[in-house]
Amino acid sequence: MQAMQYEITLPADYDMAIIRHRVATKGATTDDFAGLGLKAYGIRDRGVDGSPVNQYAPFYLWASLAGMNRFLWGGAFDGLSRDFGRPLVRQWTGLAFQRGPASGAPPRTATRTTRAIAPDADATAVIEAEIAATHERASDAAVHSTALAIDTHRWELVRFTLWGDRGPQVGGAGEATTYEVLHLSSPQFDDLKVERPW
């Protein structure tokens, strides 16, 4: 499993109805995209849930690298790049994925939390603890699904959770961001898994 996200920050006075219309009319194009585990069409509205910006920020979990690569340079990504400029695309290696009790209904909210692994920390112990926390989070009745992944360039963990309704107020250690989910494409949701090598 590979996680991926890009963020397109828009002007403070941007009419977010434009993005909502774009997702309503084009979101279904990824509903059968081969290799895609899920794509959450996330947005942030300035002033809502503490967001300082208007932003379009979809989050992807890929069941196959071939699917991700085909999306990025096989033509599907070109329309977005034409309309908004080519964004920086962040990628993380998957560590854990778990569906939750609310996985049978479309999610309404997503949260993304990040946590840096300190240079002097035992990375394996931190990762094991975060994997356990991911499985614990998945037991919450409001959770659609949750994933944990890592950027080893920054030694930064990211947890992305989809919620059937509004997620809890996120806080505590690390940076936390809340998104409204406009659409979920999940053609290979059942193929999202992480093979643990240890």
pLDDT at 175: 61
Residue 50 lies in a domain: yes
Nearest to 60 by CA among 35, 84, 29: 35
Residue 198 lies in a domain: no
Instruction: Determine the average pLDDT of the residues in 108-117.
Output: 95
Taking 60 as the threshold, does the pLDDT of residue 194 lie above it? yes
Domain with residue 96: its CATH number is 3.30.70.100
Q: Domains in the chain: how many in total?
A: 1
Q: How many angstroms separate the CA atoms of 40 and 184, rounded?
A: 5
Q: How many angstroms separate the CA atoms of 100 and 74, rounded?
A: 32
pLDDT, tens digit (0-9, with 9 covering 90-100), for 65-88: 999 999 999 888 998 899 999 999
Please state, for a pLDDT cut of 70, what percent of the chain lies above it: 93
Taking 60 as the threshold, does the pLDDT of residue 174 lie above it? no
pLDDT at 74: 81
Residue 196 lies in a domain: no
Nearest to 63 by CA among 89, 36, 92, 30: 36
Nearest to 19 by CA among 160, 144, 181, 166: 181
pLDDT at 172: 41
Taking 50 as the threshold, does the pLDDT of residue 176 lie above it? yes
The string of DSSP letters for 147-162 reads EEEEETTTTEEEEEEE
Q: State the Cα torsion 151-156-71-189 to the nearest 10°.
A: 110
Please state, for a pLDDT cut of 90, what percent of the chain lies above it: 85
Q: What is the span of the domain harbouring residue 174?
A: 2-191
Instruction: Determine the average pLDDT of the residues in 89-116.
Output: 95
CB 167 within 8 A of CB 113: no
Give the number of other CB atoms < 10 A from CB of residue 87. 16
Q: Which residues pair with 145 in a beta bridge?
A: 99, 162
Instruction: Determine the average pLDDT of the residues in 92-118.
Output: 95
CB 28 within 8 A of CB 187: no
Taking 70 as the threshold, does the pLDDT of residue 173 lie above it? no
Query: Lowest-pLDDT range, 80-89, 90-99, 101-110, 187-196?
Result: 187-196
What pTM was estimated for this model as a whole?
Answer: 0.92
CB 27 within 8 A of CB 41: yes
Taking 90 as the threshold, does the pLDDT of residue 52 lie above it? yes
